[in-house]
Amino acid sequence: ATPTALMVGTGRGAQLGILIKGPEVLESTRKADTIVLDKTGTVTTGRMTLLAVHTAQGTGERDVLRLAGALEHASEHPVARAVAAGAAERTGTLPVPEDFANVPGLGVQGVVEGHAVLVGREKLLAEWAMELPADLARARAEAEAAGRTAIAVAWDGEARAVLEVADAVKETSAEAIGRLRALGLTPIVLTGDNRAVAEAVAAQVGIAPEHVIAEVMPEDKVAVVKRLQGEGRSVAMAGDGVNDAAALAQADLGLAMGTGTDAAIEAGDLTLVRGDLRAAADAIRLARKTLGTIK
Ligand code: ADP
Ligand code: MG
């Protein structure tokens, strides 16, 4: 394509809500044949709400919400925001943790009112040799089968509760994924979340279980992109989180959600300003048209 055609292509992109880092990005946009989609905040809105609290025998719901809410208040994760907001709404002002640490891809840990507290995946509890009692394990399995994320809460060496949080699939995601497939791309969902939840979300946007890669630690998202590239694919990756930045940089084409974190936007080649995946399909059509592959 001539320099003028490239300029027109990038200008048209801006009208469509697509910010392109430079004209050279159009070539990788044209060639993409696989699109890896982060789940939370990319396929879904990422605005989660706390739906239910299941407590172990002898544990009070108020204590669970105060201790878990206090720790999560210090985290930016969409799950954390839902837990902190739900806890504050139900119990009032939350205590300030004496100690706090984020455990990427697993949850948070710290000290609240003298108690050593963990909030996150069951795997985080397992690292401290704790497991959910049978009734809480059942509540977790039921929540996940329904497509909700189950978060475990433990303190002082004992698993005490399971919290259910959920967010909604964006209204535009199913149409966007249909359009990407019509353009010849293979959509794949990639997430740190549980497999049951990931499959339930994928089903809502027309993606089959064999195209769901779940329970992937943040640092391993890059390895998934590399593996797909090793299969000879030209990989586009769409994401919003700090956790997605390295994978966005590794991908042949990094698509950052404009509604996401600065880290993702910096790592991406292209920003979907409104966080609407339909703009990814527009970008691919535009690149093919600008570079003369389609009329
Ligand atoms: P995703 O790939 O879906 O954006 P992450 O890799 O950020 O998800 O996190 C994976 C999983 O780890 C989440 O689905 C959640 O179960 C758990 N998790 C991560 N951070 C937190 C937190 N602050 N509180 C509770 N659970 C968390
Ligand atoms: Mg995300």
Q: What is the CATH number of domain 3-45+169-290?
A: 3.40.50.1000
Q: Whose CA is nearest to atom 4 of ligand 1?
A: 40
Give the CATH architecture of domain 49-166.
3-Layer(aba) Sandwich (3.40)
List, as own/partner pairs, every contact residues 11-16 make where C-beta atoms lie below 8 angstroms and the sequence separation is at least 24, other chains included. 12/286, 12/290, 13/270, 13/283, 13/286, 16/279, 16/282, 16/283, 16/286
Instruction: Tell me if 144 CB under 6 Å of ligand 1.
Output: no
Give me ligand 2 centre to Cα 295, in Å. Answer: 35
Ligand 2 centroid from CA 76, angstroms: 12
What lies within 8 Å, CB to CB, of 8 at 6+ separation is: 290
Task: Convert the pLDDT of each residue in 154-206 to its tens digit.
Answer: 999 999 999 999 999 999 999 999 999 999 999 999 999 989 999 999 999 99
Query: Can you name the residues that pair with 237 across neighbouring β-strands?
Result: 36, 254
Question: Whose CA is closest to atom 24 on ligand 1?
Answer: 107
* The pLDDT value given to residue 100: 97
Ligand nearest to the CA of 105: 1
The residues spanned by each domain of the chain are 3-45+169-290, 49-166
pLDDT in tens, 212-260: 999 999 889 999 999 999 999 999 999 999 899 999 999 999 999 999 9
Strand duo 186-190 + 212-213: pairing:
parallel
Report pLDDT for 133.
97
ipTM above 0.85, yes or no: yes
- Which residue owns the Cα nearest ligand 1 atom 20? 107
Task: Locate the DSSP E strands across 32-78.
Answer: 34-38, 49-55
CA 177 to chain centre: 16
| Nearest ligand 1 atom, CA 241 | 4
Closest C-alpha among 275, 293, 295 to residue 38: 275
CA distance 255 to 244: 10
Q: In the structure encoding, which two tokens stand for residue 251, read together?
A: 């991908």
φ, ψ for residue 116, nearest 5 deg? -80, 115
